[in-house]
Amino acid sequence: MLEQINMLREKGQNELNAITSTDQLPEWYHQYLGRKGDLTSLLKQLGTLSSEERPVMGKVINEVKQQLQESFELRQKTLKETKLHQELEIDDLDVSLPGRPCTTGHLHLTTQTLRIQVYEAPEVESDEYNFQLLNIPEYHPARDMWDTFWVNDEVVLRTHTSPGQIWAMREYYPEPIRVILPGKCYRFEQITPRSEHQFYQVEGLTIGKNIRLTDLIGVMSEFAHKMYGAERKVRIRGSYFPFTEPSIEIDMSCSCEKKGCRLCKYTGWLEVAGAGMVHPVVLRNGGYDPEEWSGFAFGMGVERPAMLKHNINDIRRFYSNDLRFLQQF
Ligand code: PHE
């Protein structure tokens, strides 16, 4: 039997060395080391040996098995490496060539066009922009709607972001407009938990052909859903602003679901924005012919909705720089 084993080892080893392609490896393995291979069948024959011979032969067979296994693995490794080298040579891959630079992408032209623009208008305004061009002449009673910080007879701290409508129209004419104008506003107000003399607004302005009130309502309800949840309802009330016609006030259903709570002052509704169709006079002041163009505008507060969302009961906390407050958000 020992002879048989030695022969097997030699044959196996020789055949393994003769193998030149990884394709031939499984066949070799099957024949020598597989479950039905030669070595396994030798192990099976151990039963026919005497009890003294059995452990000796068993040991030898297992040693040979291990040797062949190791040789097999070595051969497999060498063949794989050779194969890789050959492939690399054939492909003529020069790994020392510099890689192709990885450029960063940018927004597609269509996306850029569709995306809303953000426009920043000045915080220190002229009477002309803050009032007159918005269809609020000098001494017009509507001026009382905005308690104003006057720098001198002609200069004000803007009382709202609406003068930005004029800036945007004059800059973008004759293109259609879809712009957002966020920024700080100032009012000569008595400071209370609900009102500060400095606060933020976000103005929205759309100018185009066939822009209608329903477009405005659609945008505002979409905003309410995105910002506060799909279950929110939007309510429209008639209102008055000199620079929109018709003018509306937009309310959103309160999270108390109309049961009434302190937040909504037991009405079930929260005020979101003042809005309307851009007044023909304002369109003209911006350079757009009202016979051809129409548009909508809205203006909404920033602090009050944030107060609602986070249950903040005093607007003065926003700008009194108390870190105990600021760090909570
Ligand atoms: N500017 C108005 C305000 O501050 C809000 C508004 C903006 C109304 C745009 C209509 C259109 O009260």
**From residue 43, how far is each of 16, 62, 274 by CA, in Å?**
21, 8, 93
Take atom 2 of ligand 1 and give the residue whose Cα is closest.
299
Distance 275 CA to ligand 1 centre (A): 6
Distance 42 CA to ligand 1 centre (A): 96
Show the beta-strand stretches assigned E in 68-130. 117-118, 124-126
Q: How many CB atoms lie within 10 A of CB 226?
A: 10
The DSSP 8-state label assigned to residue 267 in this structure reads S
Mean of the pLDDT values across residues 117-125?
94
- Pocket probe for ligand 1: among 215, 219, 241, 249, the residue whose CB has the most ligand atoms within 8 Å is 241
* pTM of full prediction above 0.95: no
Give Cβ neighbours of residue 166 (< 8 Å, ≥ 6 apart): 129, 133, 134, 282, 285, 286
pLDDT at 113 over 70: no
**From residue 245, how far is each of 140, 238, 298 by CA, in Å?**
17, 10, 12
Pocket of ligand 1 (CB under 6 A): 160, 162, 203, 241, 244, 274-276, 297-299
What's the rounded Cα separation, in Å, for the pair 300 and 287? Answer: 25
Chain segment 195-232, per-residue pLDDT in tens: 899 999 999 999 999 999 999 999 999 998 988 889 98
Q: Give the chain's mean pLDDT.
A: 91
At 248, the amino acid letter reads I
262 phi, psi to nearest 5 deg? -65, -35
Chain segment 224-282, per-residue pLDDT in tens: 898 888 998 999 999 999 999 999 999 988 878 777 777 788 888 888 899 999 999 99
